[in-house]
Amino acid sequence: MRAFALFFALVFSLFAEANAEDGHDLWLRYRPLPAAAAAREHRYVEGASAYSHDARIVAAAREFNGAVAALLNIVPNAAIEQSAGEVILGTSADLKHEFPGLHLDTSGLGAEGYLIRSVAVNANPTIVVTGNSGAGVLYGTFALIREIQLGHSLANLSIRSTPRYALRVLDHWDNLDRTIERGYAGPSLWDWATLPKIDQRYIDYARADASVGINGAVLNNVNADPKILSPEYLAKVAALANALRPYGVRVYLSVRFSSPVEVGHLKTADPMDPAVKAWWRSEADSLYRLIPDFGGFVVKANSEGEPGPWDYHRTQADGANVIADALAPHDGTVFWRAFVYSATKEDRAKQAYDEFKPLDGHFRNNVIVQVKNGPIDFQPREPFSPLFGQMPETHVGLEVQLTREYLGGDDGIVFLAPMWTEALDSDTCSPRCGRPVKSTVTAMAGVANIGSDRNWTGSNFNQANWYAFGRLAWNPSLSPLQIATEWTRMTWGNDPRLVKPVVATMVNSREAVVDYMTPLGLVHQFQNDHHYGPAPWSCNLSFPSWNPCYYNSANSGGIGFDRTKTGSDAVDQYAPPVAHEFAGPNTVPEKYLLFFHHLPWTQRLRSGQSLWDSLIVHYDRGVAQVGENRRTWNSLRPYIDPQRYAQVSNDLDRQVLEAWWWRDASIAYWQSLSKLPLPPGHSSPAHPLSYYQSIHFDTVPGFKIPRIDARTMCVAGRGGPKCAL
Ligand code: GCW
């Protein structure tokens, strides 16, 4: 078979344009390796050929040749077939036919795994990238490019890798008017007005996803607009699906549970109603005629005002299953979110478990119950959700948030891999200890941080969270250190003088945020609605669990939420060994202390310090760390291009201010209750408490909850807070 021609001219023009260092090229920036290293590796790489018609393999060859042209400063040979330096791309089936002498063991690679091997073909040294599908070859090709970017030797390659989870999906909380709920990177990437016209950015987005193994994109906000299922929008969705397909990215949509009423004009969305069942089936059938590899639906039901099965006195499983049944014949998936809570008196941290645990085993096989990493809501730190490990008869997916809703938006540097690995590695002790969250889940979903900003994610360092999500969804055992190192070298350069300090900054950055925002297990101390900045005093929302005061339970006697037997007893939702550990103020990991315990300000901690002193020490540690990160960045000036250097300097300046603001406002408020002096060596807040309490923003990025029409929302009585109150 002839290898298919590659369109270098196009690729070259694409890469040539990308000279300016404005962050747009992400980690796929393909800057030349030092001449000696390039010459050394060039011996093994003359050019890639695709031995397949599969669009993903054709795309892989194009990417590879574009990448090595830039990285190795060569003109790749498109007609390299079967001579030295060929990089052979094809599935095992393609290659069996073409190279009967090659014995490549692709068993065990599954549908998306890959094998990269140095082999001799007709005595010529070549490199083979193969797998059982076009997707495997695509991921293998990006892995090989990564090897080159990292300056690894291509001499004797033997790399096998398979993804841990089959579904690795980004959830875009993008509205159809191009605002993004909790988005800090400009308007939505999806330009619904001009679609089905395809913008190059969609393709570059898909390239970036593929490079880290992300294989699904939920295009719209989970607070879904029913219009997404209208023929006008579906034609646009189909165009996007076509654009993303060569990069292995399937599209999914968020749908409103009440769509049968709003779109189908039925009288009800009751999941047990035969007309409703038929409507979902015919909707799915027509969608799959349009998009044969459509991924499926995401549903946020009975949460924060969204309609759901409770409106008809049905369970969450009834709701999920009616949609799952419609998708099943097409191999589609329902991601059914477990993020439910309502205006009851029950501790919000308990509500999802209370609702879902009894339904274990009641969900169809193509339902994934999507659970946020913690029981509250993407806080800088929370313990893992007790649902992990405790729904053994149900597929459970882990949902994390890339966009920094509660972590300062696009301020400064906050690398989230340490937060996600903390959750992934938490031992559920279900059914016995030694069973971490990562081995209990079957999928990972990440709330995207991507918009149409030139640098995609609002700040250069937020790109690392996109990268890290993909890498961890592929291999949840990677360490934050390894991920940060890879990303830094590809994004900023291989010079060790920059790699070491940048990686060190990234790895400490999440703990620093926890320290200056919500130390020792505090959660949800943010200003209302937009969640930017501190407001631990805030107590005026009618929905109790939207108030910071609810979470801190602070008064003159002490601080913290009692989730032991004397309080809400949320600890009891965990498996006994975990429950036991969390229940004791002397056994609970200190980082979760105030999440589970209400303690006097003067309580002695295991360190010997009082709770009060320890709190202050944490705030100051966070502030100090951010100051140090700022100075570290200063010292990197000689190694960083001026444009991105200036951008990050600005981001860090804002973070330094933000850290002081959090520290001062929080201490001022706690001190108004505790009446205790600051420990020696710790400075008083710069302003009186009233100053911090008077800070209000009319507008901040990331906040636009679409107006919900009360008529459609309260479909039948029990539709969440806005209906209940
Ligand atoms: O944390 C909350 C956010 C909402 C979001 C919700 C959810 C999309 O503040 O903006 O809504 O979580 O996860 O559904």
The residue whose CB lies within 8 Å of the most ligand 1 atoms, and thus the one to mutate among 405, 449, 703, is: 405
**Whether pLDDT at 3 is above 50:** no
Residue nearest to atom 11 of ligand 1 (CA): 223
Sign, CA torsion 424/428/434/439:
negative
Phi, psi of 160 (to 5 degrees): -125, 140
Give me the residues paired with residue 120 across strands: 125
Specify whether the backbone of 580 is left (phi greater than 0), alpha (psi in -120 to 50) or beta: alpha
Alpha-carbon distance of 292 to 285, in angstroms, equals 10
Ligand 1 atom with minimal separation from the 705 CA:
10
Tell me the CA–centroid distance for residue 374 and ligand 1, in Å: 13
Active-site residues, by number, are 304, 377, 405
Measured in whole angstroms, the distance separating CA 162 from the mean position of its chain's CA atoms is 20
Alpha-carbon distance of 660 to 160, in angstroms, equals 47
Closest to 296 (Cα-Cα) out of 347, 370, 385: 370
Q: What is the pLDDT of residues 502-541, one digit of tens each?
A: 999 999 999 999 999 999 999 999 998 889 999 999 998 8
Please write down the HEC assignment for all residues of 421-432.
HHHHCCECCCCC
Q: What is the pLDDT of residues 371-426, one digit of tens each?
A: 999 999 999 999 999 999 999 999 999 999 999 999 999 999 999 999 999 999 99
- With H, G, I as helix, E, B as strand and everything else as coil, classify residue 274: helix
Tally the residues of the chain.
Answer: 725
Q: What is the pLDDT of residue 719?
A: 36
Q: What is the pLDDT of residues 352-378, one digit of tens each?
A: 999 999 999 999 999 999 999 999 999
Q: Average pLDDT of 192-217? A: 98
CB within 8 Å of 643: residues ≥ 6 apart: 20, 21, 22
Alpha-carbon distance of 712 to 725, in angstroms, equals 16
Ligand 1 atom with minimal separation from the 223 CA:
8
Alpha-carbon distance of 335 to 324, in angstroms, equals 9
Question: Beta strands of 68-195 (E only): which ranges?
Answer: 86-89, 114-121, 124-130, 158-161, 167-171
Tell me the CA–centroid distance for residue 380 and ligand 1, in Å: 15
Tell me the CA–centroid distance for residue 404 and ligand 1, in Å: 12
Alpha-carbon distance of 285 to 322, in angstroms, equals 14
Strands 599-600 and 558-559 turn out to be antiparallel
The residue whose CB lies within 8 Å of the most ligand 1 atoms, and thus the one to mutate among 175, 181, 254, is: 181
Residue nearest to atom 12 of ligand 1 (CA): 377
Q: What is the pLDDT of residue 19?
A: 53
Tell me the CA–centroid distance for residue 438 and ligand 1, in Å: 23
Tell me the CA–centroid distance for residue 173 and ligand 1, in Å: 9
Structural tokens at position 600: 């006097």
The residue whose CB lies within 8 Å of the most ligand 1 atoms, and thus the one to mutate among 172, 173, 527, is: 173
Tell me the CA–centroid distance for residue 72 and ligand 1, in Å: 45
- DSSP string of 585-648, one letter each residue: TTTS-GGGHHHH--EETTPBPTTSSBHHHHHHHHHHHHHHHHHHHHHHHHHTGGGS-HHHHHHH
Ligand 1 atom with minimal separation from the 173 CA:
8
Give me the residues paired with residue 227 across strands: none
Ligand 1 pocket, Cβ-based, cut-off 6 angstroms: 173, 181-182, 222-223, 300, 303-304, 339, 377-378, 405
With residues binned 3-state (H G I as helix, E B as strand, rest as coil), the percentages for the chain, rounded to 5, are 40, 10, 45
For residue 684, the tally of other CB atoms under 10 A from its CB is 12
**Whether pLDDT at 494 is above 70:** yes
Q: What is the DSSP letter of 125?
A: E
Q: What is the pLDDT of residues 148-160, one digit of tens each?
A: 999 999 999 999 9
Region of poorest pLDDT, from 75-79, 135-139, 182-186, 397-401: 75-79
Alpha-carbon distance of 302 to 722, in angstroms, equals 11
Alpha-carbon distance of 84 to 101, in angstroms, equals 16
Ligand 1 atom with minimal separation from the 401 CA:
13
Structural tokens at position 718: 């029990």
Q: Helices 480-491 and 134-149 sit at what angle, rounded to 10 degrees?
A: 70
Alpha-carbon distance of 92 to 688, in angstroms, equals 69
Please write down the HEC assignment for all residues of 674-701.
HCCCCCCCCCCCCCCHHHHHCCCCCCCC
Alpha-carbon distance of 88 to 140, in angstroms, equals 11
Q: What is the pLDDT of residue 139?
A: 99
Alpha-carbon distance of 400 to 131, in angstroms, equals 29
Q: What is the mean pLDDT of the chain?
A: 93
- Environment class of residue 712 by beta-carbon count within 10 Å: exposed (0-12), middle (13-18) or buried (19+)? middle
Contact between 508 and 625 (Cβ < 8 Å)? yes
Q: Average pLDDT of 684-712? A: 74
